Amino acid sequence: MTAFASSPFAAPSTNKFAKLRSVSREIIGIKLEPIVALSSSRIVGMELLSVLASPEKSEQFFQHQSANQSLMLLETQLAALKNTPYSRNLFINLPITVFVETEYFVRILPLLASGQNIEIVDPHSFLLLSAESRACVTQRLQTLADRGCRIWLDDVNGSLIRSFLHCRLPLSGIKIDKLVFWRQRGTPALAQLVSRCAQVASNVLIEGIESHWDRECALQAGAGFGQGYYWPSVGWSEE
């Protein structure tokens, strides 16, 4: 992964905020969270997120978002960031449904350039697919990997990663869930989880880094990357 050049730029126009609102009245802006190489503290990418009018309802909101709404949101967000320093090496959240249904997969192909990182936000859903659908998703993810995209599993815990040990997906990285990290930081269990994740993908990221001690715990456990409030995000909203 190469270092990410972070530079300030003007906020997206009011018209672009209006387009975000057209996807959902709940979405009022864009936020970018740094992805950081723990050993060097370099920013190597930015996760593309939404600012909601009711932030406390974000988990529930995105759980009920359809694949079509996810794609509409992504199209609008990428348009807002076009021709900015942040348009490359983004970490983009997508549900597994996008890779199952042909009509959705065809829509995302022109949106994803080489160097983009795709986070599968509901990896457990892959395990619930039929053998035929799993094979289809695997092939489509391989198509994206061949184009230079990097595929990540999001919010992983110990039981989930064990289920992926023999799936043979073309994965570049694993993101360990912040709640798991907070429970296991400073214990041998965290290093064991990182080691198991590294059997599935070469890059391991720990979410929920909020202090220097958190960063040191993640680094000592063997993770290569971190994400969390320890590194300030960049955001724009109507308010």
How much is the pLDDT for 9? 46
238: Cβ–Cβ under 8 A, 6 or more apart, which residues? Answer: 14, 17, 21, 28, 29
Residue 144's identity, in one-letter code, is L
Residue 178, classed as helix, strand or coil, is helix
User: In the structure, what pLDDT confidence band is assigned to residue 7 with cuts at 50, 70 and 90?
Assistant: very low
For the chain, the straight-line distance linking the first and the last C-alpha, in angstroms and rounded, comes to 34
64-224 CATH pick, 3.20.20.450, 3.40.1180.10, 3.40.50.1220, 3.40.50.720 = 3.20.20.450
Domain positions in the chain are 64-224
User: In the structure, what pLDDT confidence band is assigned to residue 135 with cuts at 50, 70 and 90?
Assistant: very high
Interval 68-127: pLDDT, tens: 888 988 998 898 888 777 777 899 999 999 999 999 999 999 999 899 999 999 999 999
User: In the structure, what pLDDT confidence band is assigned to residue 15 with cuts at 50, 70 and 90?
Assistant: low
Q: Give me the percent of the chain exceeding a pLDDT of 70.
A: 87
117: Cβ–Cβ under 8 A, 6 or more apart, which residues? Answer: 35, 45, 89, 90, 91, 92, 149, 150, 151, 152, 172, 173
Contact 95, 67 (CB under 8 A): yes
pLDDT of residue 6 exceeding 90, the answer is no
